[in-house]
Structure formats: C-alpha cells, structure tokens
C-alpha cells in the first residue's frame, strides 16, 4: 500500500468518524429536548458532581462514575470508545489546562493526549441513553433495591427498611396495606412480575 493510499484511508476514516459523531450529537440534542426537566437536571447534577476540578470537562474516571450515577455501569472499552468518539484532547483545551497543571521543570509528556468530554457532549450522550432505556429494566433495578437479599419478592421488612433509608415516616399499617393491596397471589410479598405490573400501569 502506498503512502497516498494510506493517507486516503486515514482521511476517509476521519470523515466517517466525524459524520458518526455529528449524527450522535444530533440524536442526543433531539433526545435532550424530549426529556423532562427533572431528567435534564439529573444529567447536569451528575456531571457537576463528578467534574472534580470544575473545568467543565470530565476525564475517563469522572465520566465512568458520572454515568454510573445515572444508572449506566459501562465497561472500560465502552468508556474509552465514547472518549475516542466525543473527547477533546486535554492539551487542545488551552495552555492553562494542560501545561498549567504541571510544575515548571517537569518532564513533558509526549504520549497520546488525555481525552476529555465537555458538558454539552455529556448531556447529549446521556439524553440518548436515557431516552432509549428499557423501562422494564429500570423497574427491575428498582425491584432489586427493595429485594436486597434476592429472595424474589418484597416483604413488609423490605418496605420498612427502604422507608427508613429514605426518611419516610410511614406507619406499620401503611406498609402492611401496601403489601396487601399489591400482593395479587396472596403469598405475603410483592413478586417481581407484580412489581413490574404496578409500575407499568
């Protein structure tokens, strides 16, 4: 393969990556407008909570925990792919960000640049993921918070524990009434499918 062919392939790959990045950004902006104000606020709060140096960008570790806080526990290769597609090299963000953090006289770093994601890209990425999330999956995740010991159902004790954790002052009679109302098969607990039915109706 000639140098000219390699350069043509590189340019074609970059053009495709740019087109894909622009498509994802457009989709994310559309999804962002479809989210509730509360969901948009949740995205912003997660970003700000984990933008530890308050520079308006998150790096690999900050991105990973911010996404996890929103319910997306991603593998390392998935986070890396997001950064490679949507990230900006830290050294391109301005001399103050990249050079200003290193003390004078420190050895210069000549390896690949650290990639960062700005708030706008984070909002679009998270909006797209939230908008396409399976509601049943979300409900089952909530069920597991109640059924912490994995017995397959929610008991009065589970409701009591969660109410205590959330500082909800529910009376014992209210907790028992919840179980009785939603326990369709009469086994004394709210099963997984009963819980899904409650949440989807």
Q: Classify the phi-psi angles of 75: left when phi > 0, otherwise alpha if psi is within -120 to 50, otherwise beta.
A: beta
Q: How do residues 78-135 score in pLDDT, each as one tens digit?
A: 999 899 888 888 887 764 444 444 434 434 444 456 899 999 899 988 988 888 877 8
User: Burial letters for 20-30: b for 16+ Cβ neighbours within 10 Å, e otherwise?
Assistant: eeeebbebbee
Q: Residues 16-40: what's their mean pLDDT?
A: 75
Alpha carbons 195 and 159: distance in angstroms, whole number: 13
Alpha carbons 83 and 128: distance in angstroms, whole number: 16
Alpha carbons 90 and 187: distance in angstroms, whole number: 57
CB 162 within 8 A of CB 169: no
Give start-end residues of each CATH 1.10.238.10 domain in the chain: 3-97+112-131, 135-200
Q: Residues 158-186: what's their mean pLDDT?
A: 87
Q: How do residues 138-152 score in pLDDT, each as one tens digit?
A: 788 888 888 988 899
- What does the block give as tokens for 40? 């948009």
Report the CATH fold assignment for 135-200. Recoverin; domain 1 (1.10.238)
Q: Residues 11-29: what's their mean pLDDT?
A: 74
User: Given pLDDT bands bounded at 50, 70 and 90, which one contains residue 29?
Assistant: low
Residue 164 pLDDT exceeds 90: no
Task: Provide the CATH number for the domain formed by 3-97+112-131 in this structure.
Answer: 1.10.238.10
CB 58 within 8 A of CB 123: no
CB 125 within 8 A of CB 109: no
Q: How do residues 45-77 score in pLDDT, each as one tens digit?
A: 999 999 988 889 999 999 999 998 888 888 999
- Residue with the larger pLDDT of the pair 160 and 93: 160
Alpha carbons 120 and 47: distance in angstroms, whole number: 10
């Amino acid at each position: 393969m000639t140098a000219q062919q390699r350069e043509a392939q590189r340019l074609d790959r970059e053009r495709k990556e740019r087109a894909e990045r622009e498509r994802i950004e457009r989709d994310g902006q559309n999804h962002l407008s479809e989210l509730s104000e509360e969901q948009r606020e949740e995205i912003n709060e997660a970003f700000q909570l984990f933008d530890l140096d308050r520079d308006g960008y998150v790096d690999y570790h900050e991105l990973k925990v911010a996404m996890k806080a929103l319910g997306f526990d991603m593998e390392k290769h998935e986070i890396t792919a997001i950064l490679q597609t949507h990230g900006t090299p830290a050294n391109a963000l301005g001399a103050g960000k990249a050079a200003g953090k290193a003390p004078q006289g420190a050895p210069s770093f000549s390896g690949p640049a650290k990639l960062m994601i700005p708030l706008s890209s984070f909002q679009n990425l998270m909006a797209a993921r939230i908008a396409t999330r399976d509601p049943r999956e979300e409900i089952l995740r909530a069920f597991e918070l109640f059924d912490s010991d994995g017995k397959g159902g929610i008991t009065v004790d589970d409701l009591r524990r969660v109410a205590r954790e959330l500082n909800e002052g529910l009376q014992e009679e209210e907790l028992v009434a919840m179980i009785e109302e939603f326990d369709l098969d009469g086994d004394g607990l709210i099963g997984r499918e009963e819980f899904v039915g409650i949440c989807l109706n």
